[in-house]
Structure 1
Amino acid sequence: MAAIAAYKYIGSKDKNAVDKAAVQALETILRFAPIKTKIVIGEGELDQAPMLYVGQELGQGQDFTFELAVDPIEGTYPAAYNIAGSIAVLAAAKPKTMIYLPEMYMEKLFVSQELANVIDLKKDKPRNQAAINILRQYGIIVRLIGDGDVLAAIDVVNQEADFVYGIGGAPEGVLMAALAISSCANMQARLISYQDI
């Protein structure tokens, strides 16, 4: 529903309109859903979002509360400019199983099951360009992305890429970790403060 609501703003060059439409649609669906939910990773702490904020409880259910990590539009810039690479994302987990992360950066390495025991984030160089140079020396095709960590991780699951490496938002890292768990892939990560970037 978030993706459908945002559709009319695709190509509008207004990423706030894209995001607002998606957030409102997802919040409305969750508010009236027949299950109880609590937002653990939600819309930006930094912009003090009025909907889908961390700690918000939604839903009409009577049973235990599912914890949610949501990103109604991951990749608002591509959506606003009608470029491929946006996705609406929601991950659900049992209570007290999803980690809350503040707004900060995360170095992320998401690999397929086949590469899980071969690649180790501790062995990678700290800067993306150095890592890219090494990969290219070995004949590895490197595809650079500006936005869309989760969508890139889905490419790994779909065997359209071997791994995703980069530094991006920590909340998206939680969504990627949920994907890794549910698809038997592997993910390693390190938190990095905004000041260190």
Structure 2
Amino acid sequence: MTEHTPDTDLLDGFLDATRAAAAAVVGLVGGGDGMRIDGVAVDALRRALEPLAVDGRVVVGEGEKDQAPMLFVGERFGTGAGPAIDLAVDPVDGTKLAAAGRPDSVAVIAVAPRGAMFDIGPAYYLEKLVTAHAGRGLSLADPIAVTLDRLAANLGRPVSTLRVAVQDRPRNAATAQAIQAAGAELVGFADGDVALSLRAAAADGDLDLLLGIGGAPEGILTAAAVRALGGWMTARFAPQSPEEHARLVEVGVDLAREVPLDELCTADAWLLLSAVTSTALAAGAELAGVSLDADGGVTVESVVVGPGSPLTRSRKRLDPESP
């Protein structure tokens, strides 16, 4: 795998790792035990990454923020003989959704050359703006009404037709109110912002914009896909506790500075995703959730988002002997 051209076998290995994570939790979906789902998925993903011919390093993980099982930041994987690869990972993005059997839970990783993904340091949360190419240059520094006016003008549509996704959290209440006050349609969601971000960044997506404060790890995962899709993203640190604020200040983070897409992901990268529960990706495009066959085999639907191959879908059956 070079900076510009992926090694097909290597990417297939990473995709199989997300499939392994999704397949491992097939019997747990809807069972209510999110912690167990995370733990089983982490174990399956770690096993699948071990034999890959790479000098691999985890640079973004999700578990510490949620006090959940995780691949830890700095963890090495692969044989060590191969290209230097950095990995952003969430074995199950939308764990609560998977536990409840609700849509938009996925096993997801982003793969990039060493040093290409932005270092979020001790941050748990980012404020994010994600949109397709028409929104390039939009800024979190502008009032939301101004942002919506600019995006609508670029699209040649009235603001009233814009669909804007915001995660349902108290921290995003003012953002949601401003969107509604401007006349746009508010699309609230509980969890699973990687899938929602893809819908906003894709040219044929059914969302025009994603705004609000969400997980920092998911932000870096998202940036890899947004770059590949030709969309636009910008982010800034948004600490949600005095402790997180102090950690960021201690390491010299400028909390007022926006980080644009070209810094969030500086080189061609690939997002590899397998659906745990049914997952909408764009208008008319949905992945079915992982399913168990009568003989114990597992069917997984997946997507690869990368330079020159956005939203390439696949479906694979893992036989009962597969780990």
TM-score by length of 2: 0.56
| Pairwise CA distance, 1:61 | 4.7
| Pairwise CA distance, 1:54 | 0.7
Deviations 1:46-88 (A, max 9, x none): 5385x51111111125123200000010000010011112111
Q: Which runs of 5+ in 1 are unaligned?
A: none
Partner of 1:67: 86
Give the partner amino acid of 2:64: E
| Pairwise CA distance, 1:103 | 4.0
Using the TM superposition, name which of 57-66 and 183-192 deviates more: 57-66
Would you say 1:58 and 2:102 are equivalent positions?
no
Give the distance between the partners of 2:128 and 2:241, measured in 1 at CA: 18
| Pairwise CA distance, 1:194 | 2.4
Which runs of structure 2 are paired with 1:1-197 in the superposition (5 Å)?
A: 1-46=20-65, 47=67, 49=69, 52-101=71-120, 102-117=122-137, 119-124=138-143, 128-156=172-200, 157=202, 158-195=204-241
1:10/1:82 contact within 8 Å kept: yes
1:107/1:165 contact within 8 Å kept: yes
Give the distance between the partners of 1:150 and 1:48, measured in 2 at CA: 18
Give the distance between the partners of 1:8 and 1:184, measured in 2 at CA: 37
| Pairwise CA distance, 1:3 | 1.2
Larger radius of gyration between Structure 1 and Structure 2: 2
Q: Which runs of 4+ in 1 moved over 6 A?
A: none
Give the partner amino acid of 1:134: A
The number of residue pairs the alignment matches comes to 194
| Pairwise CA distance, 1:186 | 0.8
Alpha-carbon spacing, 1:194–1:135, altered in 2? closer, same or farther (3 Å): closer
Deviations 1:20-70 (A, max 9, x none): 111111111101122231100124235385x51111111125123200000
Q: RMSD of aligned C-alpha atoms?
A: 2.0
Please state whether the residue corresponding to 1:131 is helix, strand or coil. Answer: helix
Please state whether the residue corresponding to 1:171 is helix, strand or coil. Answer: helix
Give the distance between the partners of 1:71 and 1:106, measured in 2 at CA: 16
Give the distance between the partners of 2:226 and 2:119, measured in 1 at CA: 17
Give the distance between the partners of 2:182 and 2:217, measured in 1 at CA: 32
Please state whether the residue corresponding to 1:7 is helix, strand or coil. Answer: coil
Give the distance between the partners of 1:128 and 1:21, measured in 2 at CA: 31
Give the distance between the partners of 2:206 and 2:109, measured in 1 at CA: 22
